[in-house]
Homo-oligomer: A and B are copies of this chain.
Amino acid sequence: MTHSKTKTLVVDATDQAAGNGLMSRRFFINSALATGATLASGAPAIAQDAIVGEGQEDWTLYPGDDLPLYGDVSQFEKGRVQRFVAPPTGGRTASSSGRTPHHLLQGTITPSGLHFEVTHHGIPDIDPAKHKVVIHGMVKQPLKWDIEALENYPTVTRKYFMECSGNSRVCWAEKPDQNFMYMTHGLVSGSEWTGIPLSTLLDEVGVSPDAKWIIAEGGDSGSLSRSIPIDKALDDTIIAIYQNGERIRPSQGYPMRLLNPGFEGNTSVKWLRSLYVTDKPVMSRFETSKYTDKLYDGKALQFSLEMDVKSMITRPSSAISLKKKGLYEITGLAWSGRGKIAKVEVSADGGKTWAEAAIEGPVYDKMLTRFRIPWMWDGSPAILQSRATDEAGRLQPTREELLAARGKDAFYHYHAIHSWSVNAKGAIRHVYA
């Protein structure tokens, strides 16, 4: 039985924002129900007298469980909502990754336990009482700090996305990957970080005027090292000790990590133990054999540190098929390593027409931004896309444009428009369009 109001589809043409059913951003609020549009949810109608006696499950009859000291997710979410972990393929000293399941999440904060991680030498189990970070090199006076010492410094709390430059790299391949969003967009996450501005500590050690780079080194067994431009280090880089309210978890760098907002993820060195101030980059394995961008002429971009403007539709997406015609919400995330997101547009016809999505504000600098737009699916095939523009006016490119510019041997920094095809049965697949 369905609600009598939902039997007919009567949508005013002025509500349409672009082709193939994209509706005005305010359609849901102002007119969807007044127009009698079918809600895809299809909430069943009930009789007033049918309610009493419904839902007499055990949990309505007997007292519940005791309160836990640290609350966990429901048993019904365990196994369903988790990271996709690609184990190391070259032994324990090779790289492995855990990917965020964005198709199952909402909002802009990624739960800390589901934040993506890439490690090249496993996750160290560091005793904070035995861990220190040193700043040395071209400084007046080298100093070292443990986490308790850092706690007394002035802190900042900021929301930032983090993205691995290898995120979406399967999209460089000739055929579209079908592993849900884990593989195409699982290496980006968003958090509220609290830490100490690195500039405060650099001020204290007294950096030489000739310093140009800082070599950040992790305390894991691989001593992962990256060179950070001194201008970035003096700008918005922090040493983070809290993530989403609590101390950073081991996968994210416990007890402390570097955090370079907007830069490719691996520069935000986890398990940070050393910052060496110098006048040239260290040319470590992770900025020579990895994390460089080979171009058509055989040369390679090195230190392409800022992440490009990008977006993804998280829902509907390939893990979620549409069960009936009607009104849906298209939602997703957008971000840019160079500032705030200014605009997100959505297309339901493979890029022929675009409508501007609603953005959930306030919009943060270098943070995931949630966008939403109502979509009236009439049962015909559709191709859903989103494209973001950042405050500097940079527009997310089409796949064709990105391939033309960077494609032949490219591996990192894929950030083109992503396409989900919806067929007449409501099944959704990743396609190149």
Contacts and interface: CB of A to CB of B under 8 A. Distances in A.
Interface of A: 3-5, 28-29, 32-34, 39-48, 51, 54-55, 57, 59-78, 81-83, 85, 87, 92-93, 96-98, 104-115, 117, 119, 121-128, 130-132, 134, 136-137, 141-145, 149-157, 192-194, 197, 200, 203-204, 206, 219-223, 241-242, 244-247, 249-252, 254-255, 271, 273-274, 315, 326-329, 331, 360, 362, 364, 370, 372, 374
A374 B123 CA distance: 35
Given A63-B93, A66-B122, 4 more contacts: A51-B134, A65-B122, A67-B251, A109-B192
Contacts of A43: 143-145, 149, 204
A125 B370 CA distance: 30
A368 to B, nearest CB: 10
A70 B82 contact: yes
B66 A87 contact: yes
Contacts of A110: 245
A74 B77 CA distance: 22
The 7 A-B residue pairs with the shortest CB-CB distance in the complex, in nearest-first order: A64-B122, A59-B124, A28-B154, A41-B149, A106-B194, A63-B92, A106-B242
A152 B121 CA distance: 41
Given A85-B69, A246-B111, A247-B73, A221 B142 contact: no
A44 B144 contact: yes
25 contacts: A39-B153, A43-B204, A46-B143, A48-B142, A57-B130, A59-B125, A59-B220, A62-B221, A63-B92, A63-B121, A66-B85, A67-B85, A69-B85, A70-B83, A72-B250, A73-B246, A73-B249, A74-B249, A74-B254, A77-B254, A81-B246, A104-B246, A107-B192, A107-B193, A152-B326
Nearest to A59: B124
Find the residue from A55, A98, A106, A128 having the highest chain B CB count within 10 A. Answer: A106
B71 A41 contact: no
A251 B65 CA distance: 9
Contacts of A111: 112, 244-246
B273 A55 contact: yes
Find the residue from A137, A197, A220 having the highest chain B CB count within 10 A. Answer: A220
Contacts of A106: 155, 157, 194, 241-242, 245
A359 B212 CA distance: 33
Contacts of A57: 126-127, 130-131
Contact of A246 (B69, B77, B204): B77
A252 B71 contact: yes
A75 B249 CA distance: 10
A254 B4 CA distance: 30
Nearest to A80: B247
Given A63-B221, A67-B96, A92-B63, A108 B157 contact: yes
Contacts of A33: 200, 203-204
B59 A221 contact: yes
A141 B4 contact: yes
A39 B34 CA distance: 62
A29 B194 contact: no
Contacts of A137: 48
Find the residue from A51, A152, A364 having the highest chain B CB count within 10 A. Answer: A152
Contacts of A74: 125-126, 128, 247, 249-250, 254-255
Find the residue from A41, A69, A71, A219 having the highest chain B CB count within 10 A. Answer: A71
A85 B328 CA distance: 41
A304 to B, nearest CB: 26
Find the residue from A85, A250, A252 having the highest chain B CB count within 10 A. Answer: A250
A310 B114 CA distance: 33
A59 B192 CA distance: 27
Contact of A372 (B67, B97, B154, B274): B154
B67 A98 contact: yes
Given A41-B145, A73-B247, A331 B59 contact: no
